[in-house]
Structure 1
């Protein structure tokens, strides 16, 4: 059962909403623009997907909220009917959303999520209580968005792939009458398509240098873009970061009239790494406020960096409790234990052992290597690596060289942003004397890695969510042919 008055949608604020994931609202009379899911997604793919376009080929004028605002208006502003948590940041957004979702579901709430990118199935981006939007519902939502797109003024230009999906996500989550929607920023914050919402809480996870062509060349510049999600009167939460970042966030919060609290500074927070027979190596956190006191809570995801994300989650839940959400600490901690995040430290194959992780910038690569060292015993680490050409490639390669024993460079299929594997190998050889070679395709890379890896070695596929997604599809197909399942299934 979902909760009542305190967590009703913004349009009602009183009464109850359904916890079954089914709408309590009458469905809109949607135009039957697309006959089926394939037709709908073909139309979607005709729009500019900036996630797959090199930054040098993107017209900066495409980044504006004017088009998204107009699109929402033609759809009846569904985003205004959502109670939401808005999550921005460079690393940790997906993990933070996953932990929040697990905790809120354990407390009986119907939780919607809009995230990006997807790994295997486009529908991963739009979920209710961890259930992917159905093909039928996605087709219907895209049909309605297509009708609104036709009404957009020509001067605004055509909407992007991400804008269309964001609009479809908002429509579906409102239709499903979710109690709370977890909305992950796609890139940046200030001009991101999701930034048409006014959330209950704004969250900024760890910041590092990424997407510098769009967001700025320094951490303070990037922090200012991320702080664009802050709204007047909406509480905001982050954690202690690199020097200068929090100062910028506080300045931006003060300018817009938001209250920013920093976990570990304004909110009492602690963490420690330990090992136990029951949980093995893991991190525990503590967080206390005038309302709650969490002590020695196990972080469900591996890696020291996840302790800070977990601290953010507990702080957000405390804010929601202050707004009337019923969040017993025992249910929060039991929900937290169930958190799983596909594509992050995901062990999918047994012989040889294959680990998938979407680390796609230098900070994330460093976190990955530390996490592997702390949580997974191995003799040699064979890394299959591919990344976008517009990333800080040299710094990523330096981080790779610190952890991998052998590297096989490859590229994601059909991604124009992907770096050339031979060029990656050449640049890596300038940084390290470790074994490295290039493979034209992921299939080739997997074959090479399989021959190179011994019984106690670990193969890690990383550098890009698109490469990880392609790998997961390939391994699912391999498992189906063998009549087995992935380890993480």
Structure 2
């Protein structure tokens, strides 16, 4: 049998990131995916492993990147699985120490394993996200990856990365996002995120949430017999990247005293600060210096406020106009108000990107620009002392990069 191409096979699977049809979660179950994995041993640990699940509404991408880099500095073979991607889906799976995206050769190796031990018919029920999660499980074990960091895609209880059965869960900031799927309150959303905890989970790290959420978190850890470690939440005016890096340092320092005892075979090795950790791609990323264009994937009300608050510390003295593109399931009106208040205070411009992919917040039509107008906005920004903050869907990144 000719081995199918990994990406080509995946392109024929249901991709919720493109369809945005989250109604399917009403009847969704992880059981078929679990059965497939277990029937082939595709999530089995070949040796002692440390598997980490990173969940939350905001900040989990940067925390996942910083965690994997820190464990790599410690001397462990480390793998990172994240979502979504900026340009190429191969970006979702990265291997240390360089953490460059996997290659086509890597994915051919995965395909050879999957289609030799199974067949296209057996695999065709998978979703696109499950397909890539499966690839991470298989490749990490094939390459003998000791520390595996999995960033959850959506929620936790029903997320494909839950089946990694994490030893450690890292909880980032909780906000209101994807409410139609996860719940209408932060309390409900928190419980969905905590659903990623497995029977193997021993430790839970969390950014200290508001009192009502903290009580839920403490009760949950008591019930599940988990060791809970809290780190202060983000203070106003501080860059969230700086804060998330400090959060990861706290996690690493705490774990170093537990690794040998709790995870035999994963003794302390190197220095987690042996080399500087690179900034996660697509987070407060400078995509152009002239004009100054900064991209951030903030796409819910809490994330918008945090990103705007981070600008002054990350780019002191710089004013920003804002270009936003939000997908239809986002709370556009609330976000639009925050962006309008910021640009009015700074006396800068506010634009909303208007294309068939994006839904304009109510009342924002007067600010909207069409795709063909984008280059003029970039030129105008370059003629001023201010910068341009581009935020919202990760798909906005490709629009900005295409204008380089």
Q: Does 1:133 align with 2:102?
A: yes
Structure 1 window deviating more from structure 2 (403-412 vs 185-194): it is 403-412
Structure exhibiting the larger radius of gyration computed from Cα positions: 1
Within a 5 Å distance, the mapping from 1:348-367 to structure 2 comes to 348-367=287-306
- Give a deviation string over 1:332-370, Cα, whole Å, max 9, x none: 2344x3231110111121211111111111111111111
Which of 351, 363, 386 lines up with 1:408 in the alignment? Answer: 351
Residue 368 (structure 1) aligns with: 307
Residue 181 (structure 2) aligns with: 214
Which of 143, 164, 175 lines up with 1:197 in the alignment? Answer: 164
Distance 1:464 1:349 in 2: 18
Residues paired across the two proteins, number: 389
Q: Per-residue deviation at 1:91?
A: 0.8
Distance 1:261 1:149 in 2: 44
Which of 325, 328, 331 lines up with 1:389 in the alignment? Answer: 328
Q: Per-residue deviation at 1:74?
A: 3.6
Q: Is the 8 A contact 1:409 1:438 kept in 2?
A: yes
Q: Does 1:311 align with 2:277?
A: no
State the Cα RMSD in Å: 2.8
Q: Does 1:180 align with 2:109?
A: no
Residue 12 (structure 2) aligns with: 46
Structure 1 window deviating more from structure 2 (76-85 vs 116-125): it is 76-85
Distance 2:177 2:245 in 1: 19
Distance 2:398 2:268 in 1: 34
Q: Per-residue deviation at 1:249?
A: 2.1
TM value normalised by structure 2: 0.87
Q: Does 1:347 align with 2:314?
A: no
Structure 1 window deviating more from structure 2 (110-119 vs 372-381): it is 372-381
Q: Secondary structure at the match of 1:80?
A: coil
Q: Secondary structure at the match of 1:348?
A: strand
- Give a deviation string over 1:224-271, Cα, whole Å, max 9, x none: 00111123352111121123212222233333332323224xxxx999
Q: Does 1:263 align with 2:231?
A: yes
Q: Is the 8 A contact 1:32 1:143 kept in 2?
A: no
Distance 1:64 1:227 in 2: 17
Q: Secondary structure at the match of 1:340?
A: coil
Residue 191 (structure 2) aligns with: 224
Q: Does 1:250 align with 2:218?
A: yes
Residue 444 (structure 1) aligns with: 373
Structure 1 window deviating more from structure 2 (209-218 vs 350-359): it is 350-359
Q: Per-residue deviation at 1:134?
A: 1.2
- Give a deviation string over 1:264-297, Cα, whole Å, max 9, x none: 4xxxx99998xxxxxxxxx7xxxxxxxxxxxxxx
Distance 1:149 1:396 in 2: 46
Which of 331, 338, 359 lines up with 2:277 in the alignment? Answer: 338
Q: Is the 8 A contact 1:141 1:172 kept in 2?
A: yes
Distance 2:100 2:291 in 1: 30
Distance 1:358 1:45 in 2: 24
Q: Is the 8 A contact 2:175 2:302 kept in 1?
A: yes
Q: Is the 8 A contact 1:237 1:260 kept in 2?
A: yes
Distance 1:110 1:271 in 2: 34
Q: Is the 8 A contact 1:149 1:159 kept in 2?
A: no
The answer for unaligned runs of 5 or more in structure 1 is 1-30, 274-282, 284-302, 430-435, 479-489
Distance 1:412 1:184 in 2: 29
Distance 2:245 2:58 in 1: 10
Distance 1:217 1:310 in 2: 30
TM value normalised by structure 1: 0.73
Q: Is the 8 A contact 1:85 1:200 kept in 2?
A: yes
Residue 263 (structure 2) aligns with: none
Distance 1:334 1:412 in 2: 45
Distance 2:209 2:245 in 1: 12
Q: 1:258 to 1:77 in 2, by over 3 A?
A: farther
Q: Secondary structure at the match of 1:195?
A: helix
Q: Is the 8 A contact 1:74 1:148 kept in 2?
A: no
The answer for unaligned runs of 5 or more in structure 2 is 261-265
Distance 2:354 2:9 in 1: 26
Q: Per-residue deviation at 1:88?
A: 0.7
Whose RCO is larger (CA < 8 A, sep 6+)? Answer: 2
Residue 240 (structure 1) aligns with: 208
Q: Per-residue deviation at 1:371?
A: 1.1
Residue 294 (structure 1) aligns with: none
Distance 1:270 1:445 in 2: 33
Q: Per-residue deviation at 1:393?
A: 1.0
Distance 2:235 2:188 in 1: 29
Q: Per-residue deviation at 1:42?
A: 2.5
Residue 299 (structure 1) aligns with: none
Distance 2:113 2:179 in 1: 34
Q: Secondary structure at the match of 2:364?
A: helix
